[in-house]
Every structure is written in C-alpha cells, then in structure tokens.
Amino acid sequence: MTTPFTPADDFEAITDGLEPVTLLRRESPGGPGETVPHALRRTIDMAEVVGDNRRTVESDGRYTAADAAWSLPAAEVSAAPRLGDAILDAAGRRWTILETRLVALGVRWRCRTRELSIAYGLEDAIDVLAAEYSKGESGAVETTWNVLHAGVRGRIQPLETKIAAEKSAQNSVRRCRIILEEPFDLGHEHRLRGPDGTLYRIVAAAGFPKHGEMQTVEVEKI
C-alpha cells in the first residue's frame, strides 16, 4: 500500500525556526489581523540575488538588506496573501508583502517582503491624533485631540522655515515632511505628534502609497 505524500503535514514537523506571525490586510491596516502559527523567515542576501538571475529580474534588482522571504502554510491563512498586505513578526516588526507565489505543491505561500522602517531609516515614534468636537459651557465649540494610533514608526525631515507677518508681528513657520511606516487616511481633523511632544498641523497628505513605498505628509510645526 502506497502512503500519499502530504507536504502540508510534514512542514511543521521537520522544519526548525518556525515562528508565529500576524498577517495584516492592506484594506484594514489598523485591524487585528489573523495569526499564522507556523511561519518561516528566510533572509535574502545580496550574494544569493546576484547568483540567481531569475530572482533579480523579478525584483528589478532592488533587493535590500531590509528584504526577507516568508513561507506561510496555505492552510493557516483564510485567503491568499496579497501585495500590500503585511506580516507582523513577534518583535513587532512590520514586513510589507511585495510579491507572492504558491509553492511546494500548493501548500505554502512564499512572500517576498520588505521591512520599510529599516529601508527608510524610520527612527521616530509618531502619534496620530484625531479631533473630537464638543460644546463648552459658553456654547463655543471646543476641540480635544485624542490618540488614534500611538508609536507609528516614522521620520521627521525639516524642509524650510518661513517668516510670516501677522498684525505687525513676525512669526516663524517651520514646515517638515513626515514619513510614516503605515498608510492612514489623513485630513484637517488629524494632527501628528513627534517623540518630543511637538505637534504638527497637516498641510498635505498623499493617498495610499504604492507597495513598498512610504506615506509622506507635509506638516507645519504648531
């Protein structure tokens, strides 16, 4: 009697270095995601890329030290991983999926990913604040700023300082660009707060970025 080969059952039994991760869907970046108990991470090094012409063509030669390949059992995900989804590892690092393919007789998803905070040098913890409006005792509208997302990895880049004249007085207006690891739908009802407590008013915010790129926000220091 021949025993059928079932690679889906063998992977967890014979593979070392497996770790639980969370798969986050692009359409709901702030959602809880789904747990994948048996993920396997594999570093992609530059020497390997140079020696593998097919892989270099697939990535247009843009592999970086922040890239890694993840193997996810197909049976442990509710739907196929897609470009722009993210894998959150046990250390809280967020790996954006840039390429997926089904391998091992269709039982595992191989995902090429990029850790954007490493690739873009995101060293600042940014809080995203949202406005809540209420009427005060005098009947005037009062605004309270509440934390919507805390500790988002980002980078604050000073752009320019302008001198603005108001009622015979001069004030300095400092404009910055803030790069965020996660995409958000930002508008006038939001503020950004830097790690030193500085508040920034949003002047312009790009829409959701392309896969593997970052969201950039033009701000003014309050």
Domain boundaries, the chain: 7-119, 124-221
- What φ, ψ does residue 16 adopt, rounded to 5°? -95, 160
* Nearest alpha-carbon partner for 107 in 190, 4, 222: 4
pTM exceeds cut of 0.85: no
Which tens digits make up the pLDDT trace of 160-198?
877 766 665 666 789 999 999 888 889 999 999 999 999
Residue 185 β-bridge partners: none
DSSP letter string over 80-101?
A: ---TT-EEE-TTS-EEEEEEEE
Per CATH, the architecture of 124-221 is what?
A: Beta Barrel (2.40)
Check if 7-119 and 124-221 are the same fold. yes
CATH class for the domain made up of 7-119: mainly beta
Three-state DSSP state, 55: helix
Which tens digits make up the pLDDT trace of 1-51?
454 545 445 444 444 479 999 999 987 766 789 999 999 998 765 444 444
Instruction: For residues 58 and 74, give the distance between their C-alpha atoms in angstroms, rounded to a whole number.
Output: 22
CB hemisphere CA count around 126 (13 angstroms): 28
